[in-house]
Chain A
């Protein structure tokens, strides 16, 4: 029998409906693959084989009767940030030691409602703070990709590094992920996978561990544009339990995938042409525009003048919100407690021991910019700059642009334990330079594999859309996927 784990989510779904194989067989194939690969890749922090096989059995019963939802019997990996009832949920942090929620996040509830099967929880940067998946309490995720002629370990990107690595290494048919400044799109670009951050408000944040609430959005990472669209349809939807969830009908995103780009206007922002941009990234970008033009799109130069201020504004807004959100980890209600001589001592010792270095750094920055005397100079100023960033995009869309094409990342994946990046926190933050604007403006953005660098590592392009127009992103993303011609699978070494 062919290796079932190699099927796309869409093909696995067809095979299940046609009864070519069962959900139990498919799930068992993934569980075996995880058992083999996880000691090398460290993509899963918890595997739930019993639960997976129970869910698969229930799916098989439905499929046998010709019933079942849109994801019936499809095995998925879930980022450790999503609350899953009775199952390991720690945001890859020591401070949530042993936490097993009494509730299920809305996004994962939607997936189970549609018949999906949970394989386990995926590794990530602690509290989704990082761009390399090296800040996890559970150790770094190792990318399934290696540079040609090298055995050195590369990062899968972050913060959804476990999701990206598991999808590209065939350890799940698709994965949930979250994106606050690029945490879906950057790891997708590093691992030759497709990742979409939908418009803010499209997916409920209820039951997802909060990082920066005005920026956080859930989305899928998958092996094809079509697979991402199928998952997105299931994950989206209005939820009264999230006050920022938008009450808007969810389209069948998969129906938009083959719509093409004929007649669309694609914007090319001149401010994304950074000084010192590697020639291969510039070439990839130009190639992407040619592909879209060949399918009938018009290309238009645009200006987004406040682009360079998005990252500095983000490093005020996101830590400020994080310092507030993470105040709840106090050693009282859940997770780790380190005893002290009084209650303040207990708080301080618990948080010092429970949070990793990057998380503490961001809480400290957030506390500082929100403290008396600095609030206006930092936080209010950053929120004003954010208004200007959003207006830049609105001006472009009002001038007739349907979507914007940019590189997804400034480079391909880098090495695990990169010393230059470890020494300078700002250098690591620059990874998100092309993606962070999208979160600041609440827009949808998709990363699609489009080419490779000189060492054979995947590179991605990003498409940015109008609010709630994810459909255009799937259609244009599919054009790039088709033109790039595939071949973004890692060579198995694990």
Chain B
């Protein structure tokens, strides 16, 4: 499988990374080089093989469903580029 220019732009859109027109060709050739490299997995017979979900034989721990942390909004927003009253500020989303 290989990607065309339109697919490169679509992936950029999905990944929320602006791809300029003059960058499309380079990305296309790099992505195709990587996809060409991973193509060899097609040789492997995986019939009846389970996909790995955990590399160590363990089940995820559960904890009690209680509030165990928090109560410091000023710390949460302290690194944000733009805040007001401990809220993150973003461009207007709803007209």
Interface of A with B (CB < 8 Å)?
98-102, 199-201, 214, 240, 243-244, 246, 306, 308-309, 311-313, 315-316, 323, 327, 330-337, 339-340, 342-344, 346-349, 351-352, 355, 360-361, 363-365, 367-368, 371, 374, 377-378, 380-388, 390, 424-426, 429, 440-442, 467
B88 near A333 (CB under 8 angstroms)? yes
**Chain B hits for A315, CB < 8 A:** 34, 37-38
**Chain B hits for A386, CB < 8 A:** 51-52, 55
B17 near A388 (CB under 8 angstroms)? no
Least Cβ–Cβ distance between A356 and chain B, in angstroms: 12
Choice from B72, B75, B88 contacting A332 with Cβ under 8 Å: B88
Q: Once the chains are docked, how many angstroms separate the CA of A467 from the CA of B20?
A: 46
Q: Once the chains are docked, how many angstroms separate the CA of A374 from the CA of B38?
A: 13
A343 near B49 (CB under 8 angstroms)? no
Main secondary structure of the interface of A (DSSP, over half): helix
**Chain B hits for A384, CB < 8 A:** 44, 46, 49-52
- Would you give the 0/1 interface string for B3-34, flagging 1 where the beta carbon is closer than 8 Å to chain A? 10001100111111111100000010011011
**Chain A hits for B37, CB < 8 A:** 311-312, 315, 426, 429
**Chain B hits for A99, CB < 8 A:** 79
Least Cβ–Cβ distance between B79 and chain A, in angstroms: 4
B56 near A244 (CB under 8 angstroms)? yes
Least Cβ–Cβ distance between A327 and chain B, in angstroms: 8
**Chain B hits for A340, CB < 8 A:** 91
Choice from A331, A380, A390, A425 contacting B30 with Cβ under 8 Å: A425
B78 within 8 A of A: yes
Choice from A102, A200, A308, A364 contacting B12 with Cβ under 8 Å: A364
Choice from A102, A335, A442 contacting B75 with Cβ under 8 Å: A102
A306 near B16 (CB under 8 angstroms)? no
**Chain B hits for A424, CB < 8 A:** 33
Number of interface residues of B (CB under 8 A): 53
B93 within 8 A of A: yes
Choice from B18, B33, B49 contacting A426 with Cβ under 8 Å: B33
Choice from B27, B58, B63, B72 contacting A240 with Cβ under 8 Å: B63
Given the contacts A246-B56, A315-B37, A364-B27, A383 and B16 also touching, CB distance less than 8 Å: no
Q: Once the chains are docked, how many angstroms separate the CA of A312 from the CA of B34?
A: 9
Q: Once the chains are docked, how many angstroms separate the CA of A365 from the CA of B80?
A: 28
**Chain A hits for B15, CB < 8 A:** 323, 351, 363-364, 367
A247's nearest neighbour on chain B, judged by CB, is B61
B50's nearest neighbour on chain A, judged by CB, is A387
Choice from B19, B31, B52, B82 contacting A365 with Cβ under 8 Å: B31
Given the contacts A309-B44, A312-B41, A384-B50, A371 and B18 also touching, CB distance less than 8 Å: no
B79 near A388 (CB under 8 angstroms)? no
Given the contacts A351-B18, A386-B52, A361 and B80 also touching, CB distance less than 8 Å: no
**Chain B hits for A339, CB < 8 A:** 91
A200 near B46 (CB under 8 angstroms)? no
Q: Once the chains are docked, how many angstroms separate the CA of A99 from the CA of B81?
A: 10
Question: Can you offer 5 A-B residue contacts whose CB atoms are under 8 A?
Answer: A352-B17, A361-B34, A384-B49, A385-B41, A388-B49
A201 near B79 (CB under 8 angstroms)? no
A214 near B91 (CB under 8 angstroms)? no
B66 within 8 A of A: no
Q: Once the chains are docked, how many angstroms separate the CA of A312 from the CA of B93?
A: 40
**Chain A hits for B93, CB < 8 A:** 342-343
Q: Once the chains are docked, how many angstroms separate the CA of A429 from the CA of B17?
A: 23
B27's nearest neighbour on chain A, judged by CB, is A364
Q: Once the chains are docked, how many angstroms separate the CA of A311 from the CA of B38?
A: 8
Given the contacts A98-B79, A387-B52, A378 and B31 also touching, CB distance less than 8 Å: no
